[in-house]
């Protein structure tokens, strides 16, 4: 039996688990029909992993939007998603599916380092050059991915899980052990540099005159956002629009001050991805939608609204 809509995320799924049974398992009872396994080995780590991924993507989005002074920037703007996906797909094609998260993480960081080095000119990294370099590296990764998809159709299903985002995995606890510290690290560094982010909103020259070591802060913020994004993609594949939607919502709720906004971002991001994961496994009977598809359905209209408001304000 399946409960849709009214059941909490931990209790919903292919097998319905009552709240009474969940509480009995929490107090140490073994549960019936493997319910303890369903809750604590599958649903709990999956819910925590989804929340960690959402918090990391939202924090990275806030970093990049503040750094680039653009509400349309998202965590994938410097080519991390393309590099991570390419690393994971390469691992799958080579028969190293178990190592795909590690390959994805390395690919994402490698792409970010490449973009940074390409954009660096005489010791400085202009924002416009950084964006163009990120677009070029991301486009190259997408082209290589397209070729791999056309020539290795045998692994198509596994590859699409990475490209569309999913929490269907049996090692959620192991991935959470990497993802949760990455999310906490990203938020902690972002919070410590919240003042610098606030000053970046005034422009790089103004921030420099007000005491910000612009290039150093820029490198730290880029590295932090790249690590958080690469960890998220390596844990769940590409889940788009979270880093675009959530910072704008947080900014509307508490204003542009990053000292307040970052905490709201983390909470809203965690809630959004956990809710999207719940919807992905609850909408269809006997099947599971990609989480990235759920966030895209919500995010695409929001993107158009933000774009229109930005154009109207210009």
Higher pLDDT, 4 or 53: 53
pLDDT of 13: 54
Please name which of 57, 184, 80 lies closest in space to residue 130, comparing C-alpha atoms: 80
Over 90: is that where the pLDDT of 58 sits? yes
Question: What's the gap between Cα 309 and its chain centre?
Answer: 25
- Mean pLDDT (the chain) is 84
Over 80: is that where the pLDDT of 155 sits? no
Please name which of 95, 138, 94, 90 lies closest in space to residue 115, comparing C-alpha atoms: 138
Alpha-carbon distances of 126 from 77, 168, 176, rounded to whole Å: 14, 40, 35
pLDDT of 26: 45
pLDDT of 284: 82
pLDDT of 304: 82
Q: Which of 51-55, 150-154, 196-200, 255-259 has the lowest mean pLDDT?
A: 150-154
Structural domain count, the chain: 1
Interval 28-43 mean pLDDT: 57
Question: Phi/psi of residue 124, each to 5°?
Answer: -125, 155
Higher pLDDT, 5 or 178: 178
Is the distance from CB of 313 to CB of 70 less than 8 angstroms? no
Q: Is the dihedral of CA 146, 150, 151, 155 positive or negative?
A: positive
- CATH code where residue 209 lies: 1.10.3470.10
**For residue 3, is it left (φ>0), alpha (ψ between -120 and 50) or beta?**
beta
Q: Which of 58-67, 217-226, 278-287, 304-313 has the lowest mean pLDDT?
A: 304-313
Model confidence band, residue 261 (pLDDT cutoffs 50, 70, 90): very high
Model confidence band, residue 2 (pLDDT cutoffs 50, 70, 90): very low
Is the distance from CB of 183 to CB of 49 less than 8 angstroms? no
Is residue 249 in a domain? yes
pLDDT of 9: 54
Over 70: is that where the pLDDT of 29 sits? no
Interval 279-298 mean pLDDT: 86
Distance CA 85, CA 237 (A): 7
Q: Which domain range does residue 188 map to? A: 47-313
Interval 79-97 mean pLDDT: 89
Is residue 15 in a domain? no
DSSP 6: S
Model confidence band, residue 247 (pLDDT cutoffs 50, 70, 90): very high
Is residue 302 in a domain? yes
Please name which of 75, 73, 101, 71 lies closest in space to residue 89, comparing C-alpha atoms: 101
Is residue 185 in a domain? yes
Contacts 24+ apart (CB under 8 A), 254-257: 256/198, 256/201, 257/194, 257/198
pLDDT of 12: 54
Share of the chain above pLDDT 90, in %: 46
Over 50: is that where the pLDDT of 6 sits? no
Helix (H) or strand (E) holding 300: helix 291-313
Is the distance from CB of 97 to CB of 161 less than 8 angstroms? no
Task: Classify residue 153 by burial, with Cβ atoms within 10 Å: 0-12, 13-18, 19+.
Answer: exposed
Per-residue pLDDT tens for 107-144? 999 999 999 999 998 888 898 899 999 999 999 998 99
Over 60: is that where the pLDDT of 11 sits? no
Over 80: is that where the pLDDT of 51 sits? yes
Higher pLDDT, 28 or 296: 296
Interval 212-218 mean pLDDT: 92
Is the distance from CB of 79 to CB of 138 less than 8 angstroms? yes
Kindly report the pTM of this predicted structure: 0.85
């Amino acid at each position: 039996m399946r409960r849709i809509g009214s059941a909490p995320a931990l209790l919903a799924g292919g097998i319905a688990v009552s709240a009474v049974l969940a509480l009995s398992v929490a107090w140490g009872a073994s549960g019936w029909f493997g319910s303890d396994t369903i809750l604590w080995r599958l649903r709990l780590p999956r819910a925590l992993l989804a929340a960690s991924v959402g918090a990391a993507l939202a924090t990275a989005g806030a970093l990049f939007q503040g750094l680039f002074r653009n509400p349309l920037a998202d965590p994938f703007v410097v080519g991390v998603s393309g590099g991570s996906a390419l690393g994971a797909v390469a691992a799958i094609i080579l028969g190293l599916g178990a190592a795909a998260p590690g390959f994805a993480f390395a690919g994402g960081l490698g792409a970010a380092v490449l973009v940074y080095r390409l954009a660096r000119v005489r010791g400085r990294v202009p924002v416009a050059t950084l964006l163009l370099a990120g677009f070029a590296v991301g486009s190259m990764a997408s082209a290589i991915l397209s070729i791999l998809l056309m020539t290795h159709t045998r692994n198509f299903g596994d590859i699409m899980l990475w490209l569309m985002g999913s929490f269907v995995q049996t090692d959620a606890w192991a991935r959470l052990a990497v993802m949760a510290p990455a999310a906490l690290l990203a938020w902690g560094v972002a919070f410590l540099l919240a003042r610098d982010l606030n000053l970046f909103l005034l422009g790089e020259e103004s921030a420099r005159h007000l005491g910000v070591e612009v290039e150093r802060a820029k490198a730290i913020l880029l590295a932090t956002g790249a690590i958080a994004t690469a960890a998220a993609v390596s844990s769940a594949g590409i889940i788009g629009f979270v880093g675009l939607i959530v910072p704008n919502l947080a900014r509307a709720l508490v204003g542009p001050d990053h000292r307040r906004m970052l905490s709201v971002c983390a909470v809203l991001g965690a809630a959004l991805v956990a809710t999207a994961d719940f919807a992905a496994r609850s909408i269809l009977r006997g099947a599971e939608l990609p989480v990235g598809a759920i966030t895209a359905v919500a995010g695409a209209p929001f993107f158009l609204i933000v774009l229109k408001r930005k154009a109207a304000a210009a």
